[in-house]
Amino acid sequence: MITRTHPAGTIRLALPHKGRLSERALALLESAGLRAGYRADRSLMATLGDDFQALFVRAADVPEFVADGAADLGVTGADLIEESGRRVTELLDLGFGVCRLVAAVPEDAPIRALSEIPAGTRVDTSFPRVTAGFFRGMGISVEIAPVSGAAEIAPKLGVADVVVDLTSTGSTLRVHHLREVGTLLESSARLIANPGALERDEGVARSAAELATALDSVLRAQRKRYLMANVPRARLREVREVLPGLSGLTVVEVLDGEGWVAAHAVVDEAALYPTISRLKALGAEGILVTRIERLTP
């Protein structure tokens, strides 16, 4: 057990120092108002606002740092949290770094599903713990061969072998002539906390909750857009059906607008294009769409 060496009142947040999750994590924190203030040497520590201090470590080491209490909070992939086997409290799914841990076989292998993997098969993976647990759960005894990165192993695989690796688009698997046969785990970046620190330290608990709320509001806002349009007053009832809004439709008078009013609403980004088409069909004009910085329901 590493004891907390940082000054009381400062919350330490372990972040991936490079790799896929690093920039997205920093960008998200910045959107929530926490910009990393590096020292001149871009050292392994940075200040994040007044209350937080960032500690940059390998993404795979974040669960250890948090579980040991060397950091109070951390950001890393659910896959790495699971693989660490360490007990941490998950506070928020951050929605980026989405990928799956899948089992794949050479294209010409006869295996079509996870359940068809025969006992005794060699499984190459950099996730030995998750993989062993998964196949144990399926009642298939496989031989786990731990490796450091799966893409490099692919060419060495024999037809009877299986590789368990992360994928998001599937393109790396295809490049290596591998075919996916099933998913072991779905992953994305998570905000985690040391469970003991949350229980023992009121300050940590409060800051953790505040950070989770701030990040959540940024993530909600990223999925929404604020839409404004001038619509004929006579069509308001139909406009309301197209723009239900977050808590109803906001209608603003247009000065000298005669039969027109401005309708404002928060809409799902995914529904933006059909919404605009339907508004146009109702005679809407001057449609304006803007991003939202934060959204707290």
**Contact criterion met (CB below 8 Å) for 207 and 11:** yes
Q: Which CB sits closer to ligand AMP, 80 or 197? A: 80
| Single-letter amino acid code for the residue at 45 | M
Q: Which CB sits closer to ligand AMP, 83 or 201? A: 83
213-227 as b/e: b if 16+ CB within 10 A = ebbbbbbbbbebbbb
Min separation Cβ 126 and ligand AMP, Å: 9
10 DSSP 8-state letter = P
Q: Which CB sits closer to ligand AMP, 59 or 157? A: 59
CA–CA distance, 130 with 61 (Å, rounded to integer):
16
CA distances (Å), 156 to each of 150, 159, 177, 270, in order?
10, 10, 12, 42
Q: Which CB sits closer to ligand AMP, 92 or 265? A: 92
Q: Which residues bind ligand AMP (CB under 6 A)?
A: 19-21, 59, 77, 79-80, 97, 99, 166-168, 187
**Is residue 107 classed as helix, strand or coil in its secondary structure?**
coil
Min separation Cβ 167 and ligand AMP, Å: 6
Min separation Cβ 274 and ligand AMP, Å: 29
CA–CA distance, 59 with 15 (Å, rounded to integer):
7
Q: Which CB sits closer to ligand AMP, 74 or 97? A: 97
Min separation Cβ 182 and ligand AMP, Å: 17
Min separation Cβ 118 and ligand AMP, Å: 27
CA–CA distance, 39 with 119 (Å, rounded to integer):
54
Q: Which CB sits closer to ligand AMP, 79 or 201? A: 79
15 strand-pairing partners:
56
Min separation Cβ 127 and ligand AMP, Å: 9
254 strand-pairing partners:
none
Q: Which residue is nearest to ligand AMP (CB)?
A: 77
